[in-house]
Structure 1
């Protein structure tokens, strides 16, 4: 099972290597692989793109979509990279200071005035 998951995530060539010496993005994928081995119905990903460059973020986004679409696993994503969130999410819940300010599909959330104010400030003109 472990090799199947590693192959699915594209990290099967790292199976016999120490994790500590691997690039950060590979380490994150190994963490995801560990979670997938138990065949969950839901996976919680807390800041999976944190510390990644643009290319790595694009790749992790593709992998998250494959986890959802191919494996049929629900993904609960906690992420500050709003570009990633908007690209891969069906439903979004935006929090500010621990309170929900809006819930909805990406288009609704992106256009909501409280989200714009929270992320861009009050002095933004559309």
Structure 2
């Protein structure tokens, strides 16, 4: 029981980091479209496939640890399933050309991943 109390703050931080990274990702998508299409700035950085692959890897790692850990602990599959569907959307965004389709898939994905983290945090308190 003492071990579990020590672990909860770590999982809580990971879930909060996942929510913050999801918001940053959505903001990145929107700013990329505005800056690149509206002003012609930063296309090589904002649209870099490596940037998106690294972001997906980080999101997968954090969601897998925090939400997977939570699902095992509280035996609720919904946060895990929702987050994994979100990661699937984010992965699908890597398969389309840069632009509105990619942004829509990514924003749907990060919203679902964030929702998975939020649900995971809620189940932690039950």
TM-score w.r.t. the length of structure 1 is 0.25
Q: Which has the larger radius of gyration?
A: 1
TM-score (norm. length: structure 2)? 0.25
Which structure has more relative contact order (CA 8 Å, sep 6+)? It is 2
